[in-house]
Amino acid sequence: MCGRYASSRRPEDLVEEFDIVESRIPDALEADYNVAPTKEVYAVVERPPSKESDEPPQRQLRVLTWGLVPSWAKDASIGNRLINARMETVAEKPAYKRAFATRRCLLPADGYFEWYPTRETTKAGKPRKQPFFVRPRDHGILAMAGLYEIWRDPAKADDAPDRFRWSCTVITTDAEDALGDIHERMPLMVDRERWGAWLDPRAQGAELLDLLEPAAPGRLEAYPVSALVSNVRNNGPELLEPLPLEHGPEETSS
């Protein structure tokens, strides 16, 4: 799964990186080095200018809540369980299939965290888990494949400005090569040349899955970081600083 990631880039940098036409960011988010479920995150989407317009969809930068709330949900709490969507079932599973059909997004990240069970044990007798940070080897941006939904809160008045909740989930797949030694799942990345096809809400069909594939060998690197990241209250660039590897996979890059 993907349960934590880092996102430190400014919205103006994301606008340039992703060729954003319209930024829908009322207030910039603080750099977050420990993004956890239920937090607000940046997302790149494509939306038609209006229901009546014949103009093509426009690429927008928005702030969404991590944890997808399907349009049919009775309350928003279901989003706490829907932080990841498995690639193998995303096109058919009721919680995701509507979003997969027309509401796909990119979630910009510096990289993501995974935890590897070491040979050491905790006081409870369980393996101590060593966190690793996984990022592009060139330190570029990571465009994670995601889905988003727009949920109408039935408890809000029709004119309430917050009556609609925009939420998202990260699509995951089997991890390959050395990254699979750290954790069996990993978020799917979308290559730059496929961003347009993935985001276009007019594109439909099983061929959309062909746009998604694990990062090619050599594209990502993984290294151990401080266990401070395990506590979501800790946040800062020091969480990304590498530690000497004492216990873990023999090879930590793919």
Please report where in the chains the tokens 């400014």 appear, as a residue. 10
Fill in the DSSP letter of residue 178: T
pLDDT for 177 equals: 59
Cα–Cα distance measured from residue 113 to residue 137, given in angstroms and rounded to the nearest whole number: 15
Which of 61, 63, 75, 49 is CA-nearest to residue 19? 61
Residue 173 has pLDDT above 50, yes or no: yes
147-168: average pLDDT: 92
Torsion of CA 12, 149, 104, 210, to 10 degrees: 150
Average pLDDT, the chain: 89
Residue 114 designated active-site: yes
Asked whether the CA dihedral 79, 84, 89, 91 is positive or negative, the reply is: positive
Cα 242 to the center of its chain, rounded Å: 22
Q: What is the pLDDT of residues 110-127, one digit of tens each?
A: 999 999 888 888 778 888
Pick the catalytic residue from 46, 114, 149, 221: 114
What number is the average pLDDT over the span 120-140?
88
Q: What is the pLDDT of residue 228?
A: 96
Q: What is the spatial distance between Cα 131 and Cα 248, in angstroms, rounded to a whole number?
A: 10
User: Which pLDDT tens digit goes with each residue over 177-234?
Assistant: 555 566 678 899 899 999 999 999 988 877 788 887 766 667 888 999 999 999 999 9
Instruction: Give the tens place of pLDDT for each residue, 23-44.
Output: 999 899 999 999 999 999 999 9
User: Fold for domain 5-112+134-216?
Assistant: hypothetical protein yedk fold (3.90.1680)
Selection from 123, 92, 85 nearest residue 107 by Cα: 85
Q: Is 105 an active-site residue?
A: no
**Does 149 have pLDDT greater than 60?**
yes
